[in-house]
Structure 1
Amino acid sequence: MTKDASPANAMVAVHQVLQEVWGYDSFRPLQEASIRAVLDRRDSLTVLPTGGGKSLCFQAPSLCIDGMAVVVSPLISLMKDQVDALRACGVNAAFINSSLTQQEKRTVADQIRAGQIKMLYVAPERLLSNRMLEFLQQTPISFFAIDEAHCISNWGHDFRPEYRGLRILKEWFPAAAVHAYTATASQPVRDDILSQLELRNAEVLVGDFDRPNLTYRMLRANRRLQQVLDVIGRHRGESGIVYCISRKEVERTAAALNQMGTVALPYHAGMSDDERKNNQDAFIKDACDVIVATVAFGMGIDKSNVRFVVHAGMPKSIEHYQQESGRAGRDGLESECVLIYSGGDVVTWKKIMQGDSQAASGGAIESLEAINQLCCSPVCRHKALVEHFGQPYTHENCGGCDVCLDEIALVEDPITLSQKILSCVLRVQERFGAAHTAKVLVGSSEQRILQLGHDKLSTYGLLSGDGLDAVRMWIDQLAQQGYLRRTGEYQVLSLSDSGRRLLHRDGDPRLSVPGQKKSSRRNSPSVDSWEGVDRGLFEALRTIRSGIASEKNVPAYVVFGDATLRELARVRPATLEQLAKIKGVGERKLADFGELFLEPILAYCQNHHLETDVKTAPAPAAEATAPRAVLPNGNSMAAFDHFRRGESLEEVAEKLGRAVSTVAGYLQDFLRHEKIADPTPWVDEPTRDSILENLHLLEEGRMKPMYEFFAGKISYDSIRIVLACHRNAQSASESPA
């Protein structure tokens, strides 16, 4: 580690620190410019997307100038993770928060007085206490770094009032520069940060919002649990996050995933502090693969190897989606982001927002509509996200979203279809919303439609063969593409100027085929960054890393990130000198972990007859994709344990608060999934025998003839249960031994 450098040589010192401490030989885009602002002691605002390396922008220069840097961080878990990572690299860093005992706080204070701490992490409310401010005035401060700075703005998506008080730093420490850092900040948020912190002549640096290593997919909900499991199946054994809108959905989804063999833990604000901390620690230390969470989870996560993020429900804004999906692939490796949405998600969010005056005043409904439109429209996801934050996107094909990968099937004649929808909007005199218009188009016999005489319109039933959900989706897509406008409290539809031109076939709408997906050109993430990596060795190194992390009680990525492990499994260094050349291996980590990894690498190569110190290696062969299984939904899964105990339909219905007919459907899922051949826990033996003796009454699978034969003495539910078990028994007997 270098000593404090003079201003003239400061940047040289930073480059040396970058190599010696972090094991990197170059900066990411904009990092160097941000660091120069710190070295020049000039206030600054740096906006870099998640994974862009914001932390290094203040960590690296803090080691090269006199004094202690104070880092304002909003969460205890985030402070601990960053301090653990710094200490693992040999940096003297500390935090002060409520998790420390009084003796531990006194120890940190003594270290600060002795000039032994280069970086101190503290929460805004603690920093702003008079006692802390007076203490820090007695300490040489190099600068203040405000992490997650968007929290200061009520235009932002994570406004925290305590951040507003940070403006007094300029009064208490007039000689110290203040630097703000965030991942998501539109122009109004950036302006608010500069104003609230009273930054003077600040350097404003805004990085590229695009995350090319992420593949985005946006899917209409169709058996959500199945869709979530599809993503997990593509990333078996890797870390991922599943976001749900409600706490109830979190609990139900986590339970269902565990029953399907995925180690998953829940996380939401309704859990105790200890439960949340334990589950978060388990995820960070790779003790579980998946965390299922509400948006209460994530800001405090500095986990670099999250390979997928699934939103099992639409987030409430594009800003939230950018930040939450951005928790995937922070190490720069390929990762997948899947958003599963439905119209019901919008309704759910609006109900949640009704009791939040701040959300209403902050334009939350407009933000919700924006993310809804993004989900519904078949437009390049990378382009839409980047342009939302005011940056141009010039690529014609991003190669990393469901639209550009040609996974979304499009309507062959979208203009004619659009004309039918737009004509209907005109026929109802542009006085109704999407729901009513769609019902007219599909020919609904709803009383209101008949009363208004809309069943007499020429467009009535024009799309009766397409279904209500499809028509609603097309209306949403036309609105998102600007051919329709929504106005007023009831979101009344009207034609825009471009919509009127489209009536004359002047336009280029894109409408997707509902429920139909083309064969993906990239069903799994790109293997580019796996090129030459021996996957067996990689898994062996992951196991070693996990053991070291557990012993030291730190997150696994603090030892080495996935990118470093892949490089080790690709190059397979034979000496410590060669291992030191691997990206992410600094001097301290080489000393602490070098031998622990070198020995198993050499042993693995010897056992598998592999060469070491490899410069290039061929890409691995593509792996076969497992066939998709039809799986039950989360509601069904919640009932499985009850059925395993042999509880009746009535008992399960009472415990779950569901109708018996609904629970009967859950039982069908249970019987299929568990391959149950004996129906007698739910149907008595005489009834079972009667049904099996009369299988000849079934006509092409139709149960009605059998039901009528029994004259109502045997219910449809009983027939379904017995038939399901009978099919399972037949399948078992036909299977090869």
Structure 2
Amino acid sequence: MDDAATLLRDVFGFDGFRPGQGEIVEAVAAGQNVLAIMPTGGGKSLCFQLPALLRPGVTVVISPLIALMRDQVRGLREAGVAAGALTSGNTPEETEAVWQALEAGTLKLLYLAPERLAAGGTMQMLRRIGVGLIAVDEAHCVSQWGHDFRPDYLRIGELRRALDVPLAAFTATADRETQDEIVTRLFDGEEPARFLRGFDRPNIHLAFQPKDSPRRQILDFAAARRGQSGIVYCGTRAKTEGLARALSEDGHTACFYHGGMEAEDRRIVESRFAREDGLIVVATVAFGMGVDKPDIRWVAHADLPKSIEAYYQEIGRAGRDGGPAETLTLFGPDDIRLRRTQIDEGLAPPERRAADHGRLNALLGLAEALECRRKTLLGYFGEDAETCGHCDLCQTPVETFDATEAVRKALSAALRTGEWFGAGHLIDIVMGNETDKVRQKGHEQLPTFGVGREFDKRGWQAVFRQMMGHDLMRPDPERHGALRMTEAARPILRGEAAITLRRDTIARAQAKRRPAVKAMVSEEDAPLLSALKAKRRALAEAASVPAYIIFNDRTLIEMAETKPSNLDQMARISGVGAKKLDSYGADFLAVITGAAEEMHPTRRKLAGRDAGAVYDRLMQVQADLARGACGTEKPLSCSASLLAKVAERRPSLPEELERLLGERRSERFGAAFLDVLREAS
């Protein structure tokens, strides 16, 4: 793994792997078939990009969205890696450049959309260019019953067989059922090396709220995070447009995104979000896998997601840089009815519908949790976790009560009315409200009429919502959404089990604004961070790339906090690889120190490494001996590249050094150079 560590430092600018990355890189580089489930923001891309540089031939990367591919290609090129993409979004010049690189044998990574595999000449082209590895990003798209299913992903298994090369599949979230489907479809059922990395994203704050003036709740949440990039997910296209308008009227820079927009309009939003700081995108889940922006500081759900996997994937788009990020998910009984109906009316077979109800139940269990949300979420993914101490429930524990009697009253009302009515009518019955509908149906004569006057209407709405959340009652699509009791409710109804619910204490129109999130840097370092961001923005605009392609926020924050005073120190900043140091190091150093540092290009390649200090010492010795020990001989010197070779190779014997320097230079500098090298070892 020495070569991998060197590439990690010199190309990608990192001193070490994140937890779990190293062994995945080693397995992929060794040519094993691999299935890796890693959290969003956990460094999946590096796990195939770095092995691509270690393995012979071209690595083909199958990725689902053009925007994602373009960003990764830009980032690799900025790091000095030969990468390209063949997509429908290419200009003719871009496509020609990729073909030339393939013909010349210089391209290391080729990105393709799965739809490209359907084109007639693709297979012949891939056979001809010498593919050494296939990497599949977002591998869960192969699952036919997943919400991100892409039919052309089913062609990848055939591609692997035809090219007879190893395949590495990556995804952020896949339950056991989906993992097995990936193995069947991509690996023909032959077990790959599986890596399941921890799902915990401790930098992301988790919070849920029952809907109570939901537009105002979202506006308040955004107001406390003004100026920060965020995403608001909505259940309908119309809501994205209305909420984006409301955010704009509230002083935010906001736009909407959904599948009904023209492709060019969607591309404009994607491009703006990548380039602009502080933009809010209000979107349906159509705005998803292509989001590779590392400094999204918050994600809000104006409506309940489809499943716990969808929730995890969507909130995972926040804080990919490892910095603090926040989430808020709103939910209500209408959301639960909608999600149940979508499952029941879908085309999936009965066993799949049952599994989808289970996934929704897991999300509702998280929404209605009574203790630590992170512990509940990680428990679903099979991980044991300690109470986190900083989710909304840990920070503000909920008030609970024994709801067994209240739930039995609600169930009794449903049963005595034939399970033909929704929550509103059942609440009127238990509260004793003689509405026209109650009198018309004769329900004021029921034994359950008026038995629930201990709660007001809002209290009973909370009880019914939580009953639906605990899957004690489900809307029946064949009865126009009427609530029916599930098997899970029978033990409670018979007095064989008890249930505890939370006592909702939200006051209407009084949703509290949470305080602004913790500043990314101290007040003292904030002006420097702003100046570094301004420099980044100017360089990004000049190069027509997203700002984070230059450096991400975490790298700029480390610069602002450590304030490197020379390029050697700059090279030790996380995210500053050799190519980026060469391209941008002096510009950012000038912002920090107020003056540009001059450094020979050869020396700059050694910046931040031990060889750099050795080079400096050799250069000093050479200057002292340029005219010989007595100072009267004919001047003699070594080139910068020759000194760099000596500094990197560090020969320990005179004959080894002579082979590098030649006889004349070895005679003059050899003994002194060997002294320097011995001191450095």
Normalised by the length of structure 2, the TM-score is: 0.79
What is the CA distance between 1:22 and its match in structure 2? 1.4
Distance 1:470 1:500 in 2: 20
1:75 to 65, 76, 82: 65
Match of 1:425 in 2: 411
Q: Secondary structure at the match of 2:374?
A: helix
Distance 2:499 2:526 in 1: 46
Question: Cα distance 1:425–1:497, how it changes in 2: closer, same or farther (>3 A)?
Answer: closer
- For the 8 Å contact 1:305–1:329, the answer to whether it is kept is yes
1:595 to 586, 593, 598: 586
Match of 1:246 in 2: 236
What is the CA distance between 1:167 and its match in structure 2? 1.2
1:319 to 297, 309, 326: 309
Q: Which moved more, 1:375-384 or 1:79-88?
A: 375-384
Match of 2:621 in 1: none
Match of 1:384 in 2: 376
Question: Cα distance 1:465–1:596, how it changes in 2: closer, same or farther (>3 A)?
Answer: farther
Match of 2:531 in 1: 540
Question: Cα distance 1:103–1:558, how it changes in 2: closer, same or farther (>3 A)?
Answer: closer
What is the CA distance between 1:342 and its match in structure 2? 2.1
Distance 1:522 1:251 in 2: 25
Match of 1:657 in 2: none
The two structures, once aligned, show a CA RMSD in angstroms of 3.0
- For the 8 Å contact 1:546–1:556, the answer to whether it is kept is yes
1:215 to 197, 205, 229: 205
Query: Does structure 1 residue 152 correspond to structure 2 residue 152?
Result: no
Match of 1:125 in 2: 115
- For the 8 Å contact 1:46–1:180, the answer to whether it is kept is yes
Distance 1:479 1:496 in 2: 11
What is the CA distance between 1:168 and its match in structure 2? 0.6
What is the CA distance between 1:559 and its match in structure 2? 1.0
Distance 1:362 1:231 in 2: 36
Q: Among the aligned pairs, what percent are the same residue?
A: 34
Match of 2:623 in 1: none
Distance 2:470 2:437 in 1: 29
Match of 2:55 in 1: 65
1:281 to 258, 263, 271: 271
Question: Cα distance 1:201–1:512, how it changes in 2: closer, same or farther (>3 A)?
Answer: same
What does 1:47-446 align with in structure 2 at a 5 Å threshold? Answer: 47-174=37-164, 176-198=165-187, 200-286=190-276, 289-349=279-339, 357=347, 362-363=352-353, 364=356, 367-368=359-360, 370-389=362-381, 391-395=382-386, 397-406=387-396, 409-411=398-400, 414-415=401-402, 417-426=403-412, 429=415, 431-432=418-419, 435=423, 436-446=425-435
Cα offsets for 1:693-727 (capped at 9, x unmatched) = xxxxxxxxxxxxxxxxxxxxxxxxxxxxxxxxxxx
What does 1:488-637 align with in structure 2 at a 5 Å threshold? Answer: 490-493=482-485, 496=488, 500=492, 507=498, 509-515=500-506, 523-526=515-518, 530=521, 534-603=525-594
Distance 1:159 1:360 in 2: 19
Is there any run of 5+ residues in structure 2 with no aligned partner, and where?
Answer: 596-681
Match of 2:649 in 1: none
- For the 8 Å contact 1:221–1:342, the answer to whether it is kept is yes
Question: Cα distance 1:351–1:544, how it changes in 2: closer, same or farther (>3 A)?
Answer: farther
Question: Cα distance 1:548–1:103, how it changes in 2: closer, same or farther (>3 A)?
Answer: closer
Distance 2:500 2:323 in 1: 34
Distance 1:593 1:149 in 2: 35
Match of 1:26 in 2: 16
What is the CA distance between 1:530 and its match in structure 2? 3.7
- For the 8 Å contact 2:35–2:194, the answer to whether it is kept is yes
What is the CA distance between 1:495 and its match in structure 2? 7.5
- For the 8 Å contact 2:378–2:385, the answer to whether it is kept is no
- For the 8 Å contact 2:115–2:152, the answer to whether it is kept is yes
Q: Secondary structure at the match of 1:357?
A: coil
Distance 2:566 2:349 in 1: 58
- For the 8 Å contact 1:353–1:359, the answer to whether it is kept is no
Distance 1:462 1:238 in 2: 50
Match of 1:621 in 2: none
Distance 1:233 1:360 in 2: 44
What is the CA distance between 1:459 and its match in structure 2? 4.7
**What letter is aligned with 1:244?**
C
Distance 1:49 1:111 in 2: 33
What is the CA distance between 1:213 and its match in structure 2? 0.9
Cα offsets for 1:667-688 (capped at 9, x unmatched) = xxxxxxxxxxxxxxxxxxxxxx
**What letter is aligned with 2:450?**
G
Distance 2:120 2:270 in 1: 33
Cα offsets for 1:439-498 (capped at 9, x unmatched) = 32222323454466543456533444633343132233245457x465966542268589
- For the 8 Å contact 1:405–1:522, the answer to whether it is kept is no
Matched residue count = 584
Match of 1:629 in 2: none
**What letter is aligned with 2:541?**
S
